[in-house]
Structure 1
Amino acid sequence: MTTIPVVNSHDEFTRLRQVIVGRAEHYTDHHVDASFELFFYDNITLQTGTGQTLLPIPPQLTDELNEDIAGLVDALTGCGVDVVRPAMPGKNIDIRSPLWDARATPALNVRDNTIILGNTIVETAPHVRARLFENDQLKPLFYRYYDEGAKWLKMPQPALAHGSLDDAYFRRQGIDVSHVTDADTALAIDGLGLEMIFDGAQCMRLGRDILINVANDNHALALRWLKDNFPELRFHVLDGIADSHIDSVIVPLRPGLMLLRDPKYLDYLPEAMRSWDVIVPPPMDESAFPDYSDFGFAIASRYIDINVLSVDENTVIVNALYRELITLLENLGITVVPVQHRHRRLFGGGFHCFTLDTRRDGGPEDYLG
């Protein structure tokens, strides 16, 4: 019997053996500066272009989020998955660079700042300043994996200086975001220009093939870096399918079957995937979820609930409050593990976002050959 390496994750759907589940303790605020506003521009409803603001999150909502994360951990453990956690974050940690300061975000959405490519841990280059040091909470795990034989790479850490974020995605759509960029209080670095900025959740892994969203020059630099470091992989560019993350747009459930937000997105995909069976998520009963309009910062879209996590090719963890999707999947013969997740739009992540699968059974298969 072949032993699976300590880090082995080539896809999104083969049998899950180990996963990192993020933490939300002390998630008390959203630090809203230009980097935050640009990243969540499509969804936030607060008045933008104000420089920076610390928006408090009601403690009860953080407590409820932690209850729901505990439910996710229990569900994964019940499915036979080994769950590991980041270090406990400190309370109200302020971070500072020579160019800006921010209130640090806990390591909750651990899919964003790391991508596992086979047996290699790849730390990516965050878009949001408050998230620049999140992975410090994962370093105890990463050092353990490294000691046990995993490879470990890190993209160049961005300075996130004034003017380093590319707004091309918005300009192509005729959206003027100058009121945000002009109000940015960060300092510039003379001659720096656009930086390599990229999140792991801009990728979907299919064995030796990687779907990768490239919406601007920040992302294009990251794609170049990935190609340089992983010449054995085939990167399929989804040209601006979204502003950044794609795990609420397309979710491969197994070879030949995917969740897709809308059939119109098929045109972005590699030709080999356009003949796959497509599950379009049904409309949901929004009354089942909290309304954050009074707070003004529901930072995730209503599509966040297709951000599901596969335990294997026939078993999927789905938000228990999205009953319509559960019914659809079950009618198609898929086993659903329902887990309550109330505040996904406030904290900007679903079950795929909250997790980083470090060990799956699959290898570098050719699913698109």
Structure 2
Amino acid sequence: MPQPTSAPPPALNSYDEFTRLDEVVVGRAEHYTHHHTDTSWRLFFYDNVAPVLSQHATASGEELLAIPPQLVDELNEDISGLADALTGCGVNVLRPAAPGKDVDIRSPHWDARATPPLNVRDQTIILGDTIVETAPHVRARAFENDLLKPVFYRYYEDGGANWLTMPRPALTRDSLDTSYFTRQGLDVARATDNEMAGTIEGLGREMVFDGAQCMRLGRDVLVNVANHNHELALGWLRNNLRDLRFHRLDAMADNHIDSVLVPLRPGLMLLRSPAYLKYLPEAMQSWDVIYAPETDDSNFPDYSDLGFVIPIGSRYMDINLLSVDENTVVVNSLYPELIKVLEARGFTVVPVRHRHRRLFGGGFHCFTLDTVRRGGPEDYLS
């Protein structure tokens, strides 16, 4: 009797943020026991953490800030809820490999406690049929994508995907450009004091960039560029993916933009406020806009009884939703104000609880990497 054969995986195809989603990677947070609060981490989350950490010594006297285990358990419960909700919408859910333990990593220039593959949007961007591994900002995340390689090889070997990797940054003490902050008159010494990383003679600012600095619109990709690290990455993208049009957004944010801008369907977007319209390509400035409603602080957890816990992410994190298709969106159930607005505009909202989004720096868009959508390289901006 012939043995059944497993169906080959669908071909990698993801050009946008809103057409029908068929397959997605959902991150995981096992062993997310600490934040490693070195200079690269402080600069990345500067607005929320640098002023606080500059006045606080961690219990160990080092750069590890412990995360209460009960919060990690609750985070994992909420991630499971997200995966179940997507499966219920008919989406095939893939997961990274699980980290087996707390891992300390070392380069010739620095040491760090590794971060698990939770915010999988950050270290990778899918551009059509191409996997692009990006150049991480945060040293603790340098090897995070190793746990995604089983997924990447699945698409490469069985589905014929292309696979590119940006040059790996050394992330020395001279690698990171702080000009986004200094242009605003901010003193970054609160983040850079006590820098322990070494240097490489002759090496200055490097290519450093996250996938979440991009928004995809068919053949067009919006790219947030806030400093020279990002400028180098934009040049690399243009040189290596010549069939796409990359649009430079001039410092729309310090890095990620998926808690600022979410294209919901062609001609309609969710935007944090009218102040951000000016950063967008002219063709998008005439799109219909849903502005994110204000949310009550009671929608965020109170950590005052748990000791020193830092909300590293923006209070606008819940804008960071995930579209299943042009009419269906997955939204944090703890942002009822946005759910009401979207439902009034005719969207089917799939509410999923996500309690500690600010503590772990990611929403549903951050936690997911959409690998198969039905849209193609359409021209939405002409």
TM-score by length of 1: 0.97
Q: Secondary structure at the match of 1:350?
A: coil
Shift in Å, 1:4? 9.9
Q: 1:338: which partner in 2? A: 351
Match of 2:330 among 302, 317, 334: 317
Could you give the per-residue CA deviations for residues 207-260 of structure 1, whole angstroms, max 9, x where no partner exists? 000000000000000000000001111111110000000000000000011010
Q: Secondary structure at the match of 2:31?
A: coil
Q: 1:58: which partner in 2? A: 68
8 Å Cα contact 2:41-2:139 kept in structure 1: yes
Match of 1:361 among 374, 377, 381: 374
Could you give the per-residue CA deviations for residues 150-178 of structure 1, whole angstroms, max 9, x where no partner exists? 01000000000011100010011111103
Q: Note the residue ranges of structure 1 that are not aligned, 5 or more in a row.
A: none
1:164-175 → structure 2 map (5 Å cutoff): 164-175=175-186
Could you give the per-residue CA deviations for residues 81-123 of structure 1, whole angstroms, max 9, x where no partner exists? 0000000112110000000000000000000000000000000
Q: 1:261: which partner in 2? A: 272
1 CA distance for matches of 2:293 and 2:370? Answer: 27
Could you give the per-residue CA deviations for residues 44-69 of structure 1, whole angstroms, max 9, x where no partner exists? 25223879510010000000000000
8 Å Cα contact 1:37-1:48 kept in structure 2: no
Q: Secondary structure at the match of 1:311?
A: strand
1 CA distance for matches of 2:94 and 2:299? Answer: 30
Shift in Å, 1:296? 4.3
Q: Secondary structure at the match of 1:95?
A: strand
Q: 1:134: which partner in 2? A: 144
8 Å Cα contact 1:315-1:335 kept in structure 2: yes
2 CA distance for matches of 1:48 and 1:364? Answer: 46
RMSD: 1.5
Q: 2:117: which partner in 1? A: 107
Shift in Å, 1:5? 5.2
2 CA distance for matches of 1:281 and 1:263? Answer: 10
* Runs of 4+ with deviation above 4 angstroms: 49-52
8 Å Cα contact 1:46-1:296 kept in structure 2: no
Size of the alignment, in residue pairs? 367
Q: Note the residue ranges of structure 2 that are not aligned, 5 or more in a row.
A: 1-7
Q: 1:185: which partner in 2? A: 196
Match of 2:259 among 226, 233, 248: 248
Q: Which amino acid aligns with 2:298?
A: S
Q: 1:70: which partner in 2? A: 80
Match of 1:208 among 215, 219, 222: 219
Q: Secondary structure at the match of 2:52?
A: coil
Match of 1:38 among 43, 68, 88: 43
Q: Which amino acid aligns with 1:325?
A: L
Q: Secondary structure at the match of 1:243?
A: coil
Identify which range, 179-188 or 229-238, moves more after superposition: 179-188
Q: Which amino acid aligns with 1:28?
A: T
Q: Is 1:48 equivalent to 2:54 in the alignment?
A: yes
Q: Secondary structure at the match of 1:282?
A: coil
Q: 1:24: which partner in 2? A: 29
Q: Cα 1:189–1:99, aligned 2, differ >3 Å: closer, same or farther?
A: same
1 CA distance for matches of 2:103 and 2:93? Answer: 26
Q: Secondary structure at the match of 1:142?
A: helix
Q: Secondary structure at the match of 1:275?
A: coil
Q: Which amino acid aligns with 1:48?
A: S
Identity of aligned residues (%): 71
Q: Which amino acid aligns with 1:111?
A: R
Match of 2:298 among 280, 284, 287: 287
Q: Secondary structure at the match of 2:195?
A: coil
8 Å Cα contact 1:320-1:339 kept in structure 2: yes
Q: 1:217: which partner in 2? A: 228
Q: 2:311: which partner in 1? A: 298
2 CA distance for matches of 1:110 and 1:4? Answer: 20
8 Å Cα contact 1:292-1:298 kept in structure 2: no
2 CA distance for matches of 1:52 and 1:276? Answer: 49
Q: Which amino acid aligns with 1:16?
A: L
Could you give the per-residue CA deviations for residues 329-349 of structure 1, whole angstroms, max 9, x where no partner exists? 101111100000000000000
Q: Which amino acid aligns with 1:264?
A: A
Q: 2:11: which partner in 1? A: 6
